[in-house]
Amino acid sequence: MAVKYIPEPFRIKMVEPIKMLTREERKQKIKEANYNLFNLKGEDVYIDLLTDSGTNAMSDRQWGGVMHGDEAYAGSSSYFKLVEAGKDIFNYGYIQPVHQGRAAEKVLFPTFLTKGKFAISNMFFDTTRAHVELAGARAIDCVIEEAKNPSHRCKFKGNMDVKKMEEIILEKGAENIGLVVMTITNNSAGGQPVSMANLRETAIICKKYNIPFNIDAARYAENAYFIKRDEEGYQDKSIKQIIREMFSYADMFTMSAKKDTIVNMGGLIGVKDAESPLILKIKANCISYEGFFTYGGLSGRDLEALAIGLYEGIDEDYLRYRNGQMEYLASRLDDAGIIYQAPIGGHGAFIDAKAIFPQIPYYEFPGQVLAIELYIEAGIRTCDIGSYMLGNDPDTKEQLQADFEFTRLAIPRRVYTQAHFDIMADAIIAVRDRAHEIKHGYKITWEPPILRHFQALLAPIEE
Ligand SMILES: *Cc1c(COP(=O)(O)O)cnc(C)c1O
């Protein structure tokens, strides 16, 4: 039985029309896109679940803030408003706006990572991994084993395997570990949360070996909601109190504000210690890459919307509704016996495409096959989070096999309604029911050397 859908804690004041093409038109469009969903035009998509990044609906207050944005090159009042909000929520000494999450990585990572160094994470997000490698270092994932079994349900499935992390530190030498990165929630493992206890234990090991500890904070509010819901001792704490404790364990954070901060563009870097010598390096890199440090590649209006979004994103009624949408989708998938990374994560459903297409090997990209079929089925755009996204070994250039072959339905914030969720579930079930008719996957006919899934061209493998 489907769980009850939690009603939206808002009403709709402005609409954006969407339309569904015919099945024949969709088949033609995906072929013209060389079977890469990033090549589709937005207008040819009915329900766009490619990403929850920057696809959020801003509130009337945020749009009002856009009109108040102060466009001063230096010292804009919107900048000070943002800094105050950031300091208040995270209890950090320094807040730096940047234009998006990867800009935060580009500015911060080279100050810790160089050739020969390693960075350890519960799991690196794709651009985060890319920035570790662009800095010359190597990225090591260290998520708990439970995360690798999609149908195994456990709380805090995004956690770092702390024991394994310490073994890696000892094996590579503590002096060679440039950075530990905790991704909250753990996006690549299915938007799975990290517990407060795990953050604390990770911090203890980082201190012991004198390794800087960074939080990749894109979905910090959803993570805090999970801690409040599921971790003992946090039921009576406010989301803000939980966030402050989470961030107290790290030295700094990089954030894509396009996720939980409910804006369309923006990012942040935070440093706990207001006296840290790191701040001067951040400012210098920011000026070179992003712009003067009081705007960091953003317009004054973006800074203003971001400052407001920081508070809207941690509102508990909003988070309960947001989580409720995920629970509703999960219960429809459960009823149909669809396997996904369970329990459902914070920002989307990660469908086990390997379970739907057991006949398709990892090097023919089952996650991409399901993504293509969902577009053909109902005009839904999703993406592969599997071997297709993972790419090739940077040293041997061989195709890597991912731990998962997921197709991700990433849910934009405050955008889709219950009826859209029913269309998503119906489409997945319909594809599963005809999956045996699909014998082969796809091959790559062209790919760039890094972050290939955005640009690669694919073709169906024929008999
Ligand atoms: C989105 C994301 C990033 C990168 O942020 P962008 O704003 O897309 O550049 C980094 N880490 C995680 C976990 C993310 O989800």
Residue nearest to atom 6 of ligand 1 (CA): 101
* pLDDT at residue number 26: 98
Residue 250 lies in a domain: yes
Residue 1 lies in a domain: no
Q: Are residues 70 and 82 in the same domain?
A: yes
Q: How many domains does the chain have?
A: 2
- Stretch 121-142: mean pLDDT: 94
> What is the tens place of the pLDDT at every residue in 295-327?
999 999 999 999 999 999 999 999 999 999 999
Is 216's C-beta closer than 6 angstroms to any atom of ligand 1?
yes
- Flag whether pLDDT at 463 surpasses 90: no
Residue of 194, 216, 454 to mutate, ligand 1, most atoms within 8 A of C-beta: 216
> What is the tens place of the pLDDT at every residue in 36-75?
999 999 999 999 999 999 999 999 999 999 999 999 999 9
Q: Compute the distance between CA of residue 44 and CA of residue 55 in angstroms, rounded to an integer.
A: 16
Q: Compute the distance between CA of residue 154 and CA of residue 296 in angstroms, rounded to an integer.
A: 39
Is 254's C-beta closer than 6 angstroms to any atom of ligand 1?
no
* pLDDT at residue number 394: 80
Q: Are residues 358 and 220 in the same domain?
A: no
Q: What CATH number has the domain bearing residue 403?
A: 3.90.1150.10
Is 185's C-beta closer than 6 angstroms to any atom of ligand 1?
no
Residue nearest to atom 14 of ligand 1 (CA): 218
Residue where a domain terminates, one of 282, 313, 344: 313
Provide the residue range defining the domain that includes 91: 61-313
Residue 338 lies in a domain: yes
Q: Are residues 301 and 434 in the same domain?
A: no
> What is the tens place of the pLDDT at every residue in 396-417?
989 999 988 999 999 999 999 9
- Stretch 256-281: mean pLDDT: 98
208 CA distance to ligand 1 middle (Å):
29
Q: Are residues 334 and 282 in the same domain?
A: no
- Stretch 158-172: mean pLDDT: 98
* pLDDT at residue number 188: 87
2 CA distance to ligand 1 middle (Å):
31
Is 266's C-beta closer than 6 angstroms to any atom of ligand 1?
no
Q: What CATH number has the domain bearing residue 95?
A: 3.40.640.10
Q: Compute the distance between CA of residue 422 and CA of residue 438 in angstroms, rounded to an integer.
A: 24
| Residue in the block written with tokens 């499935």 | 157
Q: Are residues 205 and 340 in the same domain?
A: no
Q: Are residues 295 and 351 in the same domain?
A: no
* pLDDT at residue number 126: 85
Is 157's C-beta closer than 6 angstroms to any atom of ligand 1?
no
* pLDDT at residue number 153: 95
Q: Are residues 29 and 105 in the same domain?
A: no
* pLDDT at residue number 2: 78
278 — pLDDT class (breaks 50, 70, 90): very high
Q: Are residues 72 and 47 in the same domain?
A: no
101 CA distance to ligand 1 middle (Å):
5
Q: Are residues 333 and 239 in the same domain?
A: no
Residue nearest to atom 5 of ligand 1 (CA): 101
Residue of 256, 258, 451 to mutate, ligand 1, most atoms within 8 A of C-beta: 256
* pLDDT at residue number 280: 98
- Flag whether pLDDT at 395 surpasses 90: no
What residues are annotated to the active site?
A: 73, 125-126, 216, 218, 259, 453
> What is the tens place of the pLDDT at every residue in 74-111?
999 999 999 999 999 999 999 999 999 999 999 999 99
427 — pLDDT class (breaks 50, 70, 90): very high
* pLDDT at residue number 101: 97
> What is the tens place of the pLDDT at every residue in 361-381?
999 999 999 999 999 999 999
- Flag whether pLDDT at 421 surpasses 80: yes
219 CA distance to ligand 1 middle (Å):
9
Residue where a domain terminates, one of 293, 313, 333: 313
* pLDDT at residue number 369: 98
Q: What is the DSSP string of 158-169?
A: T-B-HHHHHHHH
> What is the tens place of the pLDDT at every residue in 323-360?
999 999 999 999 999 999 999 999 999 999 999 999 99
Is 183's C-beta closer than 6 angstroms to any atom of ligand 1?
yes
Q: Are residues 168 and 142 in the same domain?
A: yes
451 — pLDDT class (breaks 50, 70, 90): confident
Q: Are residues 309 and 173 in the same domain?
A: yes
Residue 177 lies in a domain: yes
Residue nearest to atom 8 of ligand 1 (CA): 101
> Which is the closest atom of ligand 1 to the Cα of 100?
7
Spatial contact of 103 and 297, defined as CB atoms under 8 Å apart: yes
Q: Compute the distance between CA of residue 108 and CA of residue 254 in angstroms, rounded to an integer.
A: 8
> What is the tens place of the pLDDT at every residue in 217-226?
999 999 999 9
Is 100's C-beta closer than 6 angstroms to any atom of ligand 1?
yes
Spatial contact of 182 and 216, defined as CB atoms under 8 Å apart: yes
CA-closest candidate to residue 110, choices 286, 255, 248: 286
Residue 216 lies in a domain: yes
216 CA distance to ligand 1 middle (Å):
8
Residue 292 lies in a domain: yes
Residue where a domain terminates, one of 313, 341, 374: 313
Helix, strand, or coil here: 94?
strand
Provide the pairing of β-strand 94-98 with 47-48. Answer: unpaired
Q: Are residues 43 and 80 in the same domain?
A: no
Query: Mean pLDDT over all residues of the chain?
Result: 96
Give φ, ψ of 105 to 5 degrees: -65, -45
CA-closest candidate to residue 257, choices 46, 45, 420, 104: 104
* pLDDT at residue number 449: 84
- Flag whether pLDDT at 8 surpasses 80: yes
Residue 5 lies in a domain: no
Amino acid identity, residue 282?
A: I
Q: Compute the distance between CA of residue 133 and CA of residue 114 in angstroms, rounded to an integer.
A: 9
Residue 425 lies in a domain: yes
